[in-house]
Amino acid sequence: MNRPAFSLIEVLVAMVIVSLITTTGMFAFKLALNQINRQSSLTFEEPMRFTQIKNLFNATYFYVVEEKDKFNPMEFKYEYLFNKTDNEITFVSDGPIYSKRLSLVSLKIKDDSLFYMETPIYDKKQDYKKPFISEDAQEYKLLKNIKNAKFKYEEPIDLPKDFETKIPKLVILEFKRDSVDYRYIFDVKYNFYQLKQYLKSKREVN
Amino acid sequence: MFSAVVLTTSSIRTLNIFTLKKEKYEISYATVLSLKAMLENREFNPMGGKFTGKINGFDYDITYKILESRRTYVTGETIRTTGNLGPYNIYLYSCVLNLLKEGSYSESSFEILKYQEVVSSE
């Protein structure tokens, strides 16, 4: 009895076509996945934020609080500013994230996130402003999903007696994420050379 | 049908691997820099030494040894912002940091400079 059926050649051709389509599909899929991977590797958000916060602390700076003689910088009174609590730090930094000017910056923990604000410490005429974050300063979210977060500080830097502010050597951000305890440690650099230079020049003037 | 299942499974698997790798890299980055910041504020023994502990879900051990030590004698000029600003002992240490987490292991090395002001006896 002759039943209608595919010949061997037809089956082989069909198999070749199917395998070609599958191989091409898999290859295209792999390329697409590589593309996704490459794109996502360019946006490592957390390391970028970590570096931004690190740079803020590494550029802790002193600023003018009093001008005895406007034309003689050696007659200025300089001071550091470093207000610290368990959930907020305000200090002066020469490396703010969004501007290139010496700024008062603030890091604040709220709603399981870390928020950042900055405002220039001098106005455009280089006049001293009161060290407060201005009301129109914009708030940016730096880190998210940080539960039970708080700041801790490790022993103050031994500053010369001209300065009253206590700056910690290390700022530690402690938080919980996915039931793991995390500690992000930042070292505070207070521009040692500029400070020494200033104190030395002041001594020579006096 | 079969190819659809295979493709979906393999793509999900690959994406998971990439995500895990990314998370691991992100947390290692912050951990290494945190440990480096911590080390820069720790006293080092010129004879060498070791620190061990746990941080961010990693077990770490850091071995350090001195590479070079020098003393500065010349004081820089006042008007310049660079140069030596007094007599200092300067030590260069090399540190090897090992991070271990769930069987995976990574090693990184870096150098750390330590300054010690020489107090004049005059």
pLDDT at residue A50, as a whole number: 93
Q: Are residues A25 and A114 in the same domain?
A: no
Q: Are residues A79 and A174 in the same domain?
A: yes
DSSP codes joined into one string, A101-148: S-EEEEEEEETTEEEEEEEESB-TT--B--S---TTPPPEEEE-S-EE
**pLDDT digit string (tens) for B34-83?**
999 999 888 898 889 999 999 998 999 999 999 999 887 766 555 555 55
| Residue of A114, A176, A187 to mutate when probing chain B, most B C-beta within 10 A | A187
Ramachandran angles phi, psi of B41, nearest 5° = -115, 20
Split into its structural domains, chain A has a count of 2
Q: Is the pLDDT of residue A65 over 80?
A: no
Size of interface A-B (CB pairs under 8 A): 75
Q: Which of B14, B22, B57 sits opposite A33 (nearest CB)?
A: B14
**pLDDT digit string (tens) for B100-112?**
988 888 899 999 9
Tell me, yes or no, whether A146 lies in a domain. yes
Domain membership of residue A129 as a residue range = 45-205
Q: Are residues A18 and A88 in the same domain?
A: no
Minimum Cα–Cα distance from A58: chain B residue: B37
SS3 content of chain A, % helix, strand, coil (to 5): 30, 35, 35
Q: Are residues A87 and A188 in the same domain?
A: yes
Stronger pLDDT, A205 or B119, i.e. the higher one? B119
pLDDT at residue B76, as a whole number: 55
Q: Are residues A136 and A194 in the same domain?
A: yes
Tell me, yes or no, whether A39 lies in a domain. yes
pLDDT at residue A152, as a whole number: 95
Q: Give yes or no for B84 touching A (CB within 8 A).
A: no
Please provide the average confidence, as pLDDT, over all residues in chain A: 84
Closest to A49 measured CA to CA, from A136, A134, A113:
A113
Domain boundaries, chain B: 2-117
| Residue of B5, B8, B34 to mutate when probing chain A, most A C-beta within 10 A | B34
Contacts A199 to B, Cβ<8 Å: none
Q: Are residues A61 and A85 in the same domain?
A: yes
**pLDDT digit string (tens) for B14-46?**
888 887 888 888 899 999 999 999 998 888 988
Please provide the average confidence, as pLDDT, over all residues in chain B: 83
Q: Are residues A37 and A136 in the same domain?
A: no
Q: Give yes or no for A44 touching B (CB within 8 A).
A: yes
pLDDT at residue B74, as a whole number: 63
Q: What percent of chain A has pLDDT over 90?
A: 39
Tell me, yes or no, whether A134 lies in a domain. yes
The verdict on ipTM greater than 0.90 is no
Q: Are residues A172 and A82 in the same domain?
A: yes
Q: Give yes or no for A38 touching B (CB within 8 A).
A: no
Burial class, A119, CB count within 10 angstroms (exposed 0-12 / middle 13-18 / buried 19+) = buried
Q: Are residues A18 and A93 in the same domain?
A: no
pLDDT at residue A61, as a whole number: 86
Q: Are residues A64 and A114 in the same domain?
A: yes
Contact A40 B34 (CB under 8 A): no
